[in-house]
Structure 1
Amino acid sequence: MAATTSASSVSTYNENGVSNPPQYPLQVAKRLEKFKTTIFTQMSMLAVKHGAINLGQGFPNFDGPEFVKEAAIKAIKEGKNQYARGYGVPDLNTAVAARFKKDSGLVVDPEKEVTVTSGCTEAIAATILGLINPGDEVILFAPFYDSYEATLSMAGAKIKSITLRPPDFSIPINELKNAVSKNTRAVLMNTPHNPTGKMFTREEMDILASLCIENDVLVFSDEVYDKLAFEADHISMASLPGMYERTVTMNSLGKTFSLTGWKIGQQLQQLFRAPDSYYEELKKDYEAKKAILVEGLKTVGFVVYPSSGTYFVIADHTPFGLNNDVAFCEYLIQEVGVVAIPTSVFYLNPEDGKNLVRFTFCKDEETLREAVKRMKQKLKVLV
């Protein structure tokens, strides 16, 4: 076999002299080499291939409220279709500040302390890239939303993780105290927590806050599921004494209004003025969906861990005899017709999550019942 090389590609020829497709050298930056196609894409592709019910990725299979869609249509028809101010149009920033005051009691300056981004993932990236220098130490709580590690790697951060473990996924306080030091630049937290559904307790947050104040540490607080808090009131980290000036609070409209595909909403200040009854009905609806999934999973034979917020639940798959979470999820899709997400991808050490899988209940009740039915029919607990 002969080969010719150039600066940009390698061409090979088989024994018949026919050129094979060129092979290009790896061009991804070294800091991102470990990050492949996301697990959500992989599982969703398998779901389509096998006709499986997708209880993996956290997007609703039902539409958002009419008043939101009508507001968007109205804005488009009124000609609000050109460049907006980079950090948000004034009315929207004011509405964000008003909602934050109503929820947390904090008064923020809409012109100096509010920035509008295209979804919370952009807010996370902007915060990390804007405040973290190469070599800065950032603490995560594992398991964590997968974009955290990728974005921190882009910033050249030194990542340290503290693992939250079942059954209650509480913060190991002694480990936290040993981890936070003068070398720590920031702690990136998420409450209510994806993927576990845990809500940080006031005691946990007070201890974290005191450590951050003592060591002059920033907190990046991802609170996108704040309106999906079922068993306790959501606490915003910025509202704790001494934390306002060192906390960046990040939030989103997509989860709250079931419109996860909308990443630009600079004209939709009406959303922040939604009546309290909307949020009450939202929680009531999700509590009913959660009950269907949780009780169904327990009946099937999963060990299901408590979820106080978000629209996710974590379950132990080991009663069914598969070696790890990825193998179980592949089996679940191919043989049962239901999608879950393996949680090992949410840890710095994948071994910490190999026994756990994540399900979502942000689906209509008929879909949830059908998924449970399939699992009851085809999953068998090993005795």
Structure 2
Amino acid sequence: MENKGFYEGEYMPQMHKIGKLTGFLGAILSFLPALVLAVVYGLLPKPAALATAFISAASAFGFLWIVEPISYFTVLGPVGTYMAFMSGNISNMRVPCAGMAQVAAEVEPGTEKGSIISVIGMATSIVINVQGISMSTKYRYVLFRRADNQEELPNRRKEILEAYRKSSLIKYARIAMIGENVGILFLEDREEDWEKGHILALLEEFRRRVLKSCPETALEFGYSLDAASLGHIRQSIEKCQKALNMGKMIYPSLFAWEYSQLGALAWLDIPEEELTHMLSAYSVLLKDEKNIELLKTLKVYLENNMNYSATAEKLYVHINTIRKRIDKVNELLQIDWSDNIARLNAELLLRFLNLEEKI
């Protein structure tokens, strides 16, 4: 009840006052160029010509002057309507952004909550327009965050934005911070193809500049080389999120992961609690440091098609050492290696253990 009283008693009266003021000001300023031509340069069209132009415009678009405000009002709300008609690009940008924001926030259009969320969505779209990001332009998306990814960490937004402004990325990409230490880079899909090496070089420079100002802030990146418009940003960011989360587990030594790098693993969507259960047998072994070397050996052994000689060469140890380690692993795990499914399962799970980071 208190929030409802604030909305009707304080919020809306203030918004109406500001909306009417800016609306009248915008209407007056829109005639400013014509007034300058008339007053300063004496260029004034004849009344008949003005009447003809008005009638032509009214006959073509007059119905929109009535239909548009009524049809958009249910989605935009009163405050959003003020903003939309001041900023323009209503049907292509403002209404879709307001609607997407309401869907994401799970609020109903036409309600007080829906009105406030639509304002937030439209304000974001206006900021994006000012940054030079277009709904029709295709982008390659990069999602970044702090490597430790902990909520209690200090906010480094200012330092991250400063590093972006000083880096070469500013020539190729726009940035949007969506959290204290989380953001999105929009790489415009230019005529020349974006090569993976080029993107990695730009991200490495950006990461290095952030580390220079904040040594404890190491950024990590997930990205996709597939270009998509802002209308498909949700799907693109989901790809980046998967590349970031799964790539970190599979290739922990890297700082950036591209979606296609995951291969068939990109199709997997294993809930965290189920993955934890699947890894339980291996996790128990990891409690003993002696077993870490055994699991590392098993991982390389499977990667080399269960070839003792290739595994020994890869790990720089004698082949008999490999044989003994694999025999020990078989005692602990009791996996039937002749079963292709069991072998594939072991290969996948070993990739999720981050064995490279174990001591």
Q: Taking structure 1 as the reference length, what is the TM-score of the superposition? A: 0.19
Higher share in helix: 2
Q: Which has the higher contact order (CA 8 A, sep 6+)?
A: 1
For the pair shown, the structure with the greater C-alpha radius of gyration is 2
Q: Taking structure 2 as the reference length, what is the TM-score of the superposition? A: 0.20
Higher share in strand: 1
